[in-house]
């Protein structure tokens, strides 16, 4: 298999079967649940779809390795399948893990309800305060779980310090890099052990597939694959095809989303209908310097507090869609107090900095001027 020097070229070409199947420029979808035996003797090597061995899976695995700079990769039926299998396969009852505050809601409830029931203890730490981590360690601490950019306030934990801390204390470092994408940041190159993605978001990028990914060392990915084949959350070959197609334009999309977000953040920051903007690319953001030193781009997610009536703003917007999820080509808006963080009381929300008038924006790839004017009109 050829390797390519740049992310952009890898996104288009890496992983393509050699030789191309019947010369097809776009790899066909393999609608086969099983494949003829070639003398395999181990269960994990059987030509059966749940074991992730179809040509569509293998192509994606090779591409994901190339773009995240991992030794091995696995696609899964959703981001939560990647996260749950990636965590469960490293842990057993009696283990303890450290987890960054402000996690994605699904991961939060998986840890606090499901993993807890299976006897795994956890402790939340302030990802931005490395000095506070040491005295949370226990003899049975196995793993530190972080997210590159938090939802919805776009905070960035002390990533370099986290890698060092894990090395020093012999912990597995695991990170959800959904919001950053490999275009803006490649956690494995900084020293993280395992990266997970909700490929539903930027990696696929067209709001039409549910998928997840795990990338890292061969040992950790093999462990995840082993458990995932038993849990059975295998990505369907049709979804593999769509994800592979989406990945080809990841860099183009994310660069446009980065620049749309930067332009909108700047326009909102000077608008009288806006009290505060959270975007790592702004000098006013508490983690701006960290983002500047670690990231190639500041991402396509931002949030802001408005002093206007949120429902009226939503009604007046004509381009963005009021909808959950993120990372697609369409600009989406949500109100976290009524969606992702609706399960918390206003006081709990206030404690973690999520105001009731906070609006989260997932930037799409629309024309920036047309989009910004739509926001400014809706806010005045």
CB 74 within 8 A of CB 228: yes
Choose, by CB under 6 A, the member of 210, 262, 264, 379 that binds ligand PLP: 210
- Pair of tokens at residue 176: 């959800």
Residue 166: in which H helix or E strand, if any? helix 159-168
Residue 322 makes CB contacts below 8 A (sequence gap 6+) with: 314, 332, 333, 334
Residue 367 among the catalytic residues: no
Residue 202 among the catalytic residues: no
Contact call for residue 176 and ligand PLP (CB under 6 A): yes
- Pair of tokens at residue 206: 């067209």
* Residue carrying structure tokens 């981590």: 133
Residue 50 among the catalytic residues: yes
Phi-psi region of 322 (alpha: psi -120 to 50; beta: other; left: phi over 0): beta
Choose, by CB under 6 A, the member of 27, 52, 173, 178 that binds ligand PLP: 178
Contact call for residue 79 and ligand PLP (CB under 6 A): yes
Contact call for residue 130 and ligand PLP (CB under 6 A): no
Choose, by CB under 6 A, the member of 70, 187, 212, 336 that binds ligand PLP: 212
Residue 295 makes CB contacts below 8 A (sequence gap 6+) with: 156, 180, 184, 185, 280
Residue 48 among the catalytic residues: no
* Residue carrying structure tokens 């910004």: 372
Helices (H) and strands (E) in the chain, counts: 15, 12
Count of positions on this chain that bind ligand PLP (CB under 6 A):
15
Cα–Cα distance measured from residue 358 to residue 154, given in angstroms and rounded to the nearest whole number: 13
Shortest Cβ 327–ligand PLP spacing (Å) = 8
Choose, by CB under 6 A, the member of 173, 184, 198, 251 that binds ligand PLP: 198
**CB nearer to ligand PLP: pick between 8 and 236:** 236
Choose, by CB under 6 A, the member of 200, 257, 303, 334 that binds ligand PLP: 200
Task: Please pick, among 48, 63, 104, 349, the residue that the annotation labels catalytic.
Answer: 104
Shortest Cβ 326–ligand PLP spacing (Å) = 6
Contact call for residue 80 and ligand PLP (CB under 6 A): yes
Q: 48: which DSSP letter?
A: B
Choose, by CB under 6 A, the member of 55, 106, 353, 368 that binds ligand PLP: 106
Task: Please pick, among 53, 62, 63, 201, the residue that the annotation labels catalytic.
Answer: 201
Task: Please pick, among 176, 193, 287, 374, the residue that the annotation labels catalytic.
Answer: 176
- Pair of tokens at residue 345: 């009381």
Cα–Cα distance measured from residue 86 to residue 225, given in angstroms and rounded to the nearest whole number: 9
CA angle 325, 151, 64 (to 5 degrees): 65
**CB nearer to ligand PLP: pick between 104 and 279:** 104
Contact call for residue 78 and ligand PLP (CB under 6 A): yes
Contact call for residue 120 and ligand PLP (CB under 6 A): no
- Pair of tokens at residue 317: 């917007």
Task: Give residues in contact with ligand PLP (CB under 6 A).
Answer: 78-80, 104, 106-107, 147, 176, 178-179, 198, 200-201, 210, 212
List, by residue number, the catalytic residues.
50, 104, 176, 201
């Amino acid at each position: 298999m050829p390797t390519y020097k740049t992310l952009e070229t890898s996104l288009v070409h890496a992983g393509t079967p050699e030789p191309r199947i019947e010369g097809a420029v776009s790899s066909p979808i393999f609608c086969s649940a099983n494949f003829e035996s070639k003398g395999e003797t181990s269960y994990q090597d059987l030509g059966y779809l749940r074991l992730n061995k179809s040509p569509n899976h293998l192509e994606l695995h090779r591409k994901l390795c190339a773009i995240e700079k991992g030794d091995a990769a696995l696609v899964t039926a959703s981001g939560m399948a990647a996260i749950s299998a990636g965590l469960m396969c490293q842990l057993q009852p009696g283990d303890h893990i450290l987890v960054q505050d402000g996690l994605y809601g699904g991961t939060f409830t998986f840890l606090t309800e499901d993993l807890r029931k299976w006897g795994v203890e956890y402790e939340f730490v302030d990802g931005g305060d490395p000095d506070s981590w040491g005295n949370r360690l226990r003899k049975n601490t196995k793993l530190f779980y972080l997210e590159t950019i938090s939802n919805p306030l776009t905070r960035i934990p002390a990533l370099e310090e986290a890698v060092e801390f894990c090395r020093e204390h012999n912990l597995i470092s695991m990170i959800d890099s959904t919001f950053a994408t490999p275009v803006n940041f490649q956690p494995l190159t900084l020293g993280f052990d395992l990266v997970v993605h909700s490929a539903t978001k930027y990696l696929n990028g067209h709001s039409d597939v549910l998928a997840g990914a795990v990338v890292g060392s061969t040992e950790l990915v093999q462990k995840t694959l082993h458990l995932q084949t038993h849990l059975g959350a295998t990505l369907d070959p049709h979804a593999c095809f769509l994800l592979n197609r989406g990945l080809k334009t990841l860099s183009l999309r994310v660069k446009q989303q980065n620049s749309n977000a930067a332009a909108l953040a700047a326009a909102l920051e000077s608008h009288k209908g806006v009290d505060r903007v959270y975007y790592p690319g702004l000098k006013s953001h508490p983690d701006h310097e960290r983002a500047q030193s670690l990231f190639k781009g500041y991402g396509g997610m931002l949030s802001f507090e408005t002093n206007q009536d949120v429902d009226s703003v939503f009604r007046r917007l004509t381009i963005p869609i009021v909808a959950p999820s993120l990372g697609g080509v369409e600009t989406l808006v949500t109100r976290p107090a009524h969606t992702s963080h609706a399960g918390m009381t206003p006081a709990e929300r206030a404690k973690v900095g999520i105001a009731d008038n906070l609006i989260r924006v997932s930037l799409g790839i629309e024309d920036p001027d047309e989009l910004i004017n739509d926001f400014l009109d809706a806010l005045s």
